[in-house]
Amino acid sequence: MAPPTRYFDRHDASHGLYFDAVDLLAHVESAYQDIKIIDTECHGRVMLIDDVTMLTQSTHHVYHEHMVHIPMACHPAPRRALVIGGGDGGTVTELVKYPCLEQIALCELDEAVIQVSREWLPDVSAGLSDARVAIHIGDGAAFLNDAPDPFDVIIIDSTDICADDAGSDTGPASPLATDAFYDRLQAGLGPGGVAMQMLGSTIFYRPAMAELFNRLSNRWASFRPVLMPCPFYISGDWTAGLLSMAASLAPDTDHRLNGHLTYFNRDIAHGALALPNDVKRLLPGG
């Protein structure tokens, strides 16, 4: 038997992780990025984009369940949902569990991510085949600008928007963290609408995250950081942002939370909004 091939996901000069793959199932160089699906002995299939871990079959549900079920629990009657990014389909697969949703739009820039996921991650991408799902290939901000009707819930399932600015004091430069994007995001939400955005690591990206927390607090009537354990992401945990122009954000878990999940439950929903002291200090006035 041939020895496993080692794939590295290096985070900085002194830290990273690796996977020993028993097989390289897919390798696609799209117009935007390098996409690999590898098969591992202990953690199932793993998606790497530009050699950065996107998901593992063994743990992706932790991230996807947080990203969907918290914002869904914050809206009293969601009917229309939008996912920006998330071409692997994991976020959509969680959304289709809600009978109340009448329309689910997915806007993914790179069609190759969808194609690779459908072929090699069928369990993750299963929700893409739901009749309520409409897939749009293109820029998420432009899609928001042209959408004829507002959405109740918008989930930005992107790569970490602070990664390019790790250790800097200039703040995130991602196009999904600009004032223009947040203007479009606010305009794309209906009354009481809720957004959830992937942010990054408060441990590795502390200066950029502090700047981003300050910007989001000033631009949104309600902003709450959400913490989640992500074993194969940088630092082992991750942060998202819960955003709304409504006066307050509190998940009504008795009303909305789906009870048939792998990881997430009512206690986790409330615990994810509890912040350790060092994260509180990143908030304005913290």
| CB burial of residue 214 (10 Å; 0-12, 13-18, 19+) | middle
Can you tell me the distance from the alpha carbon of 282 to that of 286, in angstroms, rounded to the nearest whole number?
Answer: 6
Minimal CA–CA distance to 230: which of 54, 72, 19, 92?
54
Beta bridge partners of 241: 197, 225
CA dihedral 259, 156, 277, 208 (to 10 degrees): 170
**DSSP designation for 126:** G
Can you tell me the distance from the alpha carbon of 40 to that of 96, in angstroms, rounded to the nearest whole number?
Answer: 28
Answer yes or no: are the C-beta atoms of 110 and 30 closer than 8 Å: yes
Which residue out of 9, 39, 88, 157 is catalytically annotated? 157
Establish whether 130 is a catalytic residue. Answer: no
CA-angle at 50, arms to 47 and 52, nearest 5°: 55
Which amino acids are annotated catalytic?
Answer: 157
